[in-house]
Amino acid sequence: MRIILASPEAKVWSERKHIPLGLGYLAAALREGGHEPFIYDAAIEDAPVERYIEEAEQQGKPYKLIGITAATPLIGDAWQMAQTAKRYGLTTVLGGPHLTIMPRESLEPRHAYVDYVFKGEAEHTFLELVDTLQAGRPVQLLPGMHMRGRDGEIISDYSSPMIENLDSLPFPAHDLFKIDKYTNLQPLTDGLDRHARSFTILTSRGCPYKCTFCSKPVTGDTWRGRSVDNVVAEWRWLVQDLHASEIGVTDDIWNLKMDRAKELMRRLIAEGLNTVPWTTVHGMKVNHTDLELFQLMKAAGCKRVGFGVENGDPWMLRNVIRKGQTLEQVRDAFKNAKAAGLQTMGFFIFGMPNETEETMEATIQLALELDPDLANFMLAAPFPGTKMYDMIREGGEIFANDWPDYAIHEQKSRFTMNDGIYDSDLVVRKWRDAYRRFYLYRPKRVWEKMSKKSFWLDLPHTASNARRFFIGQNDQHGSNGRVNPEEPVTSAKGILDRALS
Ligand code: B12
Ligand code: SF4
C-alpha cells in the first residue's frame, strides 16, 4: 500500500528542524512489510500535503492512508492534516506522544475524520493494521489501538506497547528524509555547521527515572538498550553511506549503563567512525558519568554534551522535580566534561510548583557557576500525563486552554498555584532575567562570542534568535492576559548595544 507518514509543521521551533525519527522507524517497518511509505515533514516541505496526494492520484498511484504523528502542541495541526487527507478519501491514522497520553480525544465526534489512533510504539501494530486493510480483512482491535465500533462508540485497547528487543527492528528509513532541508541540531550556538547533514540516532528507549515534569507515559519506565553492534551498524550506515556530517543522540538516557556507553565509544573509535561530530541532543543524566566516559566520548567525535540540571535548589530538586541527582553530581559532570574538552550545555526549568524567588535565583546562580557554553532556560509547562500536571490540578490552576499553549518557547506561564506564594508573573521575569544575566550581562562572555568570526557570519541568524529569547516574539502577554512590563528591543543593533552596555 502507498502510505504518507506525516509530521505537521512545528511552528514552536522556528529555527530547529530535526528529522521525525519515529516516522523513520515506522517507514522502515512498513517498507520491510512490502509497503511504500513516503515521509512528509511539513517543517521542511514547500508544498502542502494535498499537492502530493493530488500528484499521486494523477499518476494513477494514489496514497491510500496517511499516518500522522503529533506531540501535544501540534495536535491541532495534526487534526487539520487528517481532515484534509480525509477529503481525498484516505484512511487516517494518528499516533505519537500526544496520542499515547490522550488517545480517545482524537476519536470524539468532532474528529469524525480520524479513523484509528495508536498508543505507544507502533512498528508492529501499525504494520498489522496496514496489512489488514490491504488484504480487505475486517479490522480487529490491536494492542494500543483505538477505533470506532459499529455504533460509533470508541473502543480501546489501553495497553501502550513498548518494543522489548530493539535489535529486532529495522534501522529507521534515514534514506527517506530530505536531509538537505534540515538544519543542524543546535543552530542557536556556533561551533557546529548550521547546514550540516544532521541525522539523529536512538541507542535505547525508555527511562527508569520519574522526573515530575516529564511525560513518562511516552518514554516508558523500562529502559531498553540496543546492542553495541546494532548501534554501530546504524552509525556506520549514517557516516559511510548517507554521508552524515552531524549526528545527534536523542535517547532519553543513553548513558544509563556506563559500561555499555563506554563500550560503544570504544567501538566507534576502533571502527574509525569518530570522524563525524555528534552531540547528545537531549542531554545525559549526570549521575551516570565519570571522567573516563567523557574522554572516550571526546575521542569518539563528540563535540557537545547536554545535561538536565533543572534547578539550583537542592530541596526543589529532591522534593518537587524528583530528579534523582544531587548538585554535587551536577558539578562533577560539568567539571569532567570540560576537562575532557567537550562543549557543555545545561537545561534549566523555571516555575515548577513551589518555586520562589530564592529557588529561581539559586538556579540562575548555578547556571552562572557551571558556565556551560549554552544554557537553555525553559518555562515549566504542565503537559498532561506528567506528575506535575496532577500536582497543579490538585493545588493550582492551569491557564493554558489550548494545546498550542504548551509549546515551551511561548514566553508565558501556563499555571499558578493557589498556595499564596507562587507568582507566575515573577516566574516569567526571573526566566527572562536568567537569559539576560547568562548571555548578555557578562562582558567576558559577550567579548568571547563577538571575537569569533562565526558570530559575525551568523549575525542575522543570531539576532533573530536573540530577539526571540531575550525580548519575546510578538506576544508580550502572559496567557493570563497580563502585559509583560519588559521594554522590547526590536533591532539587531539594539541587542548588540544592550549586550555591549
Ligand atoms: C528528539 C525529541 C525532540 C526533537 C525532535 C522531534 C521530532 N521531530 O521528532 C525536538 C528537539 C525538535 C523536539 C521538540 C519538541 N519536543 Co521532544 N522529544 C524528543 C525525544 C527525546 C525523542 C523523540 C524520538 O525520536 N523518539 C523515538 C521514536 C521512536 O519514538 P516516537 O517519535 O514517539 O514514535 C513512536 C511512537 O510514538 C509511535 N508513533 C509516532 N508517530 C506515530 C504516527 C502514527 C501514525 C502511528 C501509528 C504511531 C506513531 O510509533 C513510533 C515508533 O515506535 C522525546 C522523548 C521520547 N522518548 O520520545 C521528546 C518528546 C517527544 N518531546 C516532547 C516535547 C514536549 C517537545 C516539544 C513540544 C517541546 C516544545 N518546544 O514545546 C517540541 C515539539 C516539536 C515537535 N516537532 O514535536 C515530549 C512530548 C510530550 C507530549 N505530551 O507531547 C517528549 C515525550 C519528552 C518528554 N519526555 O516529556 N523533541
Ligand atoms: S526527564 Fe529525562 S531523566 Fe527524567 S524521567 Fe524524563 S527522560 Fe528520565
pLDDT number for residue 486 = 29
Give the residue extent of every domain in the chain.
2-156, 183-471
**Residue 253 confidence (pLDDT) above 80:** yes
2-156 and 183-471 share one fold: no
> What's the confidence (pLDDT) of residue 103?
97
CB 416 within 8 A of CB 399: yes
55 C-alpha to center of ligand 1: Å? 29
Q: What is the pLDDT of residues 150-173, one digit of tens each?
A: 999 999 999 999 999 999 999 999
pLDDT tens column, 311-369: 999 999 999 999 999 999 999 999 999 999 999 999 999 999 999 999 999 999 999 99
Between 480 and 400, where is the model more confident?
A: 400
**pLDDT 10s digits, 193-220:** 667 889 999 999 999 999 999 999 998 9
Residue 453: which pLDDT band, with cuts at 50, 70 and 90?
A: low
Share of the chain above pLDDT 70, in %: 84
Q: What is the pTM of this model?
A: 0.91
Give the nearest ligand 1 atom to 385 CA: 83
pLDDT-derived band at 186, boundaries 50, 70, 90: low
Selection from 95, 339, 347 nearest residue 213 by Cα: 347
Q: Which residue has the cell 554521508?
A: 243
What percent of the residues of the chain are helix, what percent strand, and what percent coil, each to the nearest 5? 45, 15, 40
**Which residue has the least CA distance to atom 26 on ligand 1?**
22
Return the C-alpha torsion angle 328, 334, 340, 343, nearest 10.
170
Task: Pick the residue whose CA is nearest to atom 4 on ligand 2.
Answer: 211
**For residues 50-64, average pLDDT:** 98
Give the per-residue pLDDT at 17: 79
Which of the ligands is closest to the CA of residue 308? 2
Ligand 2 residue neighbourhood (C-beta within 6 Å): 207, 209-211, 214, 219, 252-253, 285, 308
- Phi/psi region, residue 219 (left: phi>0; alpha: psi -120 to 50; beta: rest), is alpha
Q: Would the CB of 260 count as within 6 Å of ligand 1?
A: no
- 375, pLDDT greater than 80: yes
Closest-lying ligand 2 atom to the alpha carbon of residue 207: 8
Query: Of 3.40.640.10, 3.40.1280.10, 3.80.30.20, 3.40.47.10, which CATH number belongs to 183-471?
Result: 3.80.30.20
Would you say the CB of residue 126 lies under 6 angstroms from ligand 1? yes
Return d(Cα 210, Cα 281) in angstroms, integer. 20
Q: Across residues 139-154, what is the average pLDDT?
A: 96
Which neighbouring-strand residues pair with 249? Answer: 201, 280
Residue 462: band (very low, low, confident or very high) from pLDDT cuts 50, 70, 90: low
H/E stretch holding 335 reads: helix 327-339
SS3 235: helix
Pocket test for ligand 1, best of 31, 121, 378 (most atoms within 8 A of CB): 121
Q: Give nearest CA residue, ligand 1 atom 6.
A: 20
CATH code linked to domain 2-156: 3.40.50.280
Helices (H), 33-177: 49-58, 75-87, 97-101, 123-135
Q: Which one, of 382, 77, 355, lies nearest residue 215 by Cα?
A: 382
Reported in sequence order, the residue ranges of 149-277 that DSSP labels E, i.e. its strands, are: 154-156, 198-201, 204-205, 224-225, 246-249
> Would you say 146 and 188 are in contact if contact means Cβ atoms under 8 Å apart?
no
In ligand 2, the atom with minimum distance to the C-alpha of 285 is 3
Nearest residue (by CA) to ligand 2, atom 2, is 252
What's the rounded Cα separation, in Å, for the pair 19 and 237?
16
Amino acid of residue 176: L
- Summarize the confidence of residues 38-60 as an average pLDDT: 96
Ligand 2 centroid distance, CA of 453 (Å): 36
Q: How far is the CA of 302 from the centre of ligand 1 (A)?
A: 23
Of the listed ligands, the closest to the CA of 384 is: 1
Residue 408: pLDDT over 80: no
